[in-house]
Amino acid sequence: MSTIINLSRRDFCKTGALLGGGLVLGFYYPGCKAGKKEEVKAVAPFIPNAFIRIGADDTVTIIVNKSEMGQGVYTSLPMLIAEELALDWSTIRIEPAPVDPAYNHTQWGPIQGTGGSTSIRSTWEQLRTAGATARVMLEMAAADIWQVDEKDCRAENGHIIHKGSNRKLSFGELVEKAADIEPPKDVTLKDPKDFKVIGRNKKRLDTPDKVHGKAVFGIDVMVPDMLTAVVARAPVFGGMVKSVNDKKAKEIPGVKAVVQIDSGVAVVADHFWAANLGREALEVEWDEGTLAALDTQNQGEQYVEMATKPGLIAAQRGDVQAALATAAQNIEAVYELPYLAHAPMEPLNCVAYVRPDSCEIWTGTQMQTSDRDAAVELTGLPPEKVTLHTTYLGGGFGRRAVGDAHFVREAVQVSMAVKKPIKVIWTREDDIHGGFYRPRAYNVIKAGLDAEGMPVGWQHRIVCQSIVEGTPFEMLIKDGIDETSVEGAADSPYDVPNFICDYQKAPSGVPVLWRRSVGHSFTAFVKEGFVDELAHAAGKDPYAFRRQLLAKHPRQQALLDLVAEKADWGNPSAKDRFQGIAIHESFGSFIAQVAEVSVSDAGKISVHKVVCAIDCGRTVNPDTIKAQMESAIVFGLSAAFYGEITFKNGRVVQSNFNDYEVLRMNEMPLIEVHIMPSEEPPGGVGEPGVPPIAPAVANAVFAAKGIRMRKLPMT
């Protein structure tokens, strides 16, 4: 049986003695093949590269350098290796990668992290090459043992087989010999037409542990002698502690310490509940800082004012003003989207244990390097003395990819103060109030149509905060423009001869962050809503109109045709149901969706069905792609109908799932996913399903009631 190395409490008890030497998530190997254990001890594993370790007991440990947050990387990345290595899938074990340059992202510079729907794209060559290298070395080892030509040796299902004689040795039996083989400089990767693993459904390796409650998330990590902390953070972003009275907090049974850290005041206790009660009893006076009067309404007026002035030009062609002046018809609209919290199901948390000569961290993170570096900075320890264990993530959506490592810093600081292992837990209220939101966006958009109803000019102005400004990712700002604020708008594929997209950077203050599909989460709503408006103004069918404007984009055209065919465009399944369509490219993939909705007389919108077509190039694990589409559609519907973070007196108004609502089972539409067969290189999958759903629904609502939804959440 394949196994995912996973530190559970019980396992820990067995290995607890190892703590002094550093507790590694991979120390406990459950289910070693019976009967082979003794041999295993004697022979060192074969480690052809940073991603593969083959044991004499035939187990193949795959070290995965992407965080598993639901997107299936603990299965899809091993599939890339398995394709080339021809291993026996049942012998696989998964181990999360430590922090090491060998595991840096291949496209992000010297950073180890997971995000941007890049896990497959960035490892597609790397991991197949790693697998092929290991295979060649095993073949060479076998050839050497048999004294035959290595060209006559091939790998199959965890064995090397000699063509002439049918002799056969398992990978485990070759481990010793293979360790002496010089790794080949070049390996030839399989022709995709010979793929046996890639592109075929594989069951997720992490499912059983997740079903039995055995998967260890950051919040589940237990370390002997550990205390739990919750942190009182300023009620207003940028606020600072003025004074603390911890007398009552310390009277709560179980409370052990109250310590001030950079982000606020931590209450440390034996267990979460005592810490939480202690925080309730804590009296803190805050200097609320410059955002004490922040108010959603006023901020909105500020954005409206900013939108009256031209911004920095993100993209431009032709002469828009002239085109609009001479157009047969002008259409103008304003689209507004709010701040959004990620609200992953598992609230943020981190365990840290700082000792005089080492620091150990356990957390579900998407940004290992920044987290490790923050610990180095705080403790003054050299990087090699800081160990970070990546656990399962109970959802990420970008919230756990933070450049400032704030949720790790807190645990490190508290552990330094109390000299014990510390688990910091965020409550749901802490999470909703905690900032790092998808930025609010205000969009003014105009177009001119010619006498035939085709657009001749398109002008889109975006007012929103920059995500990367003031962060370690500031290099993503080009000529003053944060790419993530204009992506999906500045590069609109619609064929309009005169075009401009400009950007007004809204004042910073509220912490903002990438959130599943980043800028596309709002630009697609604007672009796809507005193009629908144009189609109606031109008296054209929204599907045919888009098709015409995408004449130079055959992949998008073909995808539109696929979704229209599968959704039976133009023929909703019941008289009171109406269809809306949207298409958007992001993260290297194209997604088209048709939503079928009804709107009650009281104005209640119900989404009955969503047909989704995706062209993400070559597929790795098709069932995971379908799951990600389902997931993204639900995520996007939550934002379409409910998601909104607002401010009053500098404070976030929402606090938990009662007032920051999300989609539930009773509102779940039927989702049908169709994958376009493709031989293009793989595209991203985790995020691109989000952008088209809100506009598809908005367009269906227009079809139903003639009411144009230009503001989210729809109410």
- Positions touching another protein (CB under 8 A) are 8-9, 68-72, 203-204, 206-217, 219-220, 222, 228, 253-254, 271-273, 343-347, 392-397, 425, 427-428, 623, 627, 630-635, 656-658, 662-666, 668, 670-671
632 binds, among another protein, ligand FES, none (CB under 5 to 8 A by kind): another protein
Identify the sign of the CA torsion 313, 319, 322, 327: negative
The CA-atom distances, in angstroms, between 345 and each of 205, 481, 625 are: 21, 33, 21
Closer to another protein by Cβ: residue 13 or 551: 13
CB of 654 to ligand FES, least distance (A): 16
CB of 395 to ligand FES, least distance (A): 5
How many whole angstroms separate alpha carbon 608 and alpha carbon 605?
A: 10
217 binds, among another protein, ligand FES, none (CB under 5 to 8 A by kind): another protein
Task: Write the interaction track for ligand FES spanning residues 54-83; mark x where CB under 6 A is met and - where it is not.
Answer: ----------------x-------------
Q: Which stretches of 435-541 are DSSP H helices?
A: 483-486, 520-538
User: Residues 395, 435, 686, 688: which binds ligand FES (CB under 6 A)?
Assistant: 395
3-class state of residue 349 by DSSP: strand
H/E stretch holding 211 reads helix 207-211
Closer to ligand FES by Cβ: residue 149 or 659: 659
Pair type for strands 52-54 and 46-49: antiparallel
208 binds, among another protein, ligand FES, none (CB under 5 to 8 A by kind): another protein
Residue 440 in contact with residue 339, Cβ under 8 Å? Answer: yes
Tokens 């073949």 sit at which residue? 139
Q: Is 345 one of the binding residues for ligand FES (CB under 6 A)?
A: yes
How many whole angstroms separate alpha carbon 578 and alpha carbon 570?
A: 9
393 binds, among ligand FES, another protein, none (CB under 5 to 8 A by kind): another protein
CB of 587 to another protein, least distance (A): 18
CB of 210 to ligand FES, least distance (A): 8
How many whole angstroms separate alpha carbon 128 and alpha carbon 423?
A: 38
CB of 675 to another protein, least distance (A): 16
Closer to ligand FES by Cβ: residue 211 or 602: 211
Closer to another protein by Cβ: residue 335 or 392: 392
CB of 70 to ligand FES, least distance (A): 5
Closer to ligand FES by Cβ: residue 399 or 420: 399
How many whole angstroms separate alpha carbon 365 and alpha carbon 245?
A: 33
Q: Is 293 one of the binding residues for ligand FES (CB under 6 A)?
A: no
Q: Is 519 one of the binding residues for ligand FES (CB under 6 A)?
A: no
Tell which residue, 141, 147, 176, has the closest CA to residue 160.
141
Residue 196 in contact with residue 85, Cβ under 8 Å? Answer: no
SS3 content of the chain, % helix, strand, coil (to 5): 35, 25, 40
Q: Is 572 one of the binding residues for ligand FES (CB under 6 A)?
A: no
| DSSP one-letter code for 224 | T
Q: Is 668 one of the binding residues for ligand FES (CB under 6 A)?
A: no
Residue type, 486: V
What are the strands of the beta sheet with 578-586, ordered from one edge?
Answer: 578-586, 589-599, 605-615, 670-675
Q: Which stretches of 342-499 are DSSP H helices?
A: 368-379, 406-418, 428-433, 483-486
Closer to ligand FES by Cβ: residue 400 or 461: 400
CB of 340 to ligand FES, least distance (A): 17
Tell which residue, 527, 565, 514, has the closest CA to residue 543.
565
Site residue total, ligand FES (CB under 6 A): 3
214 binds, among ligand FES, another protein, none (CB under 5 to 8 A by kind): another protein
CB of 15 to another protein, least distance (A): 15
CB of 657 to ligand FES, least distance (A): 7
How many whole angstroms separate alpha carbon 643 and alpha carbon 343?
A: 10
Identify the sign of the CA torsion 15, 362, 101, 92: positive
Q: Which residues bind ligand FES (CB under 6 A)?
A: 70, 345, 395
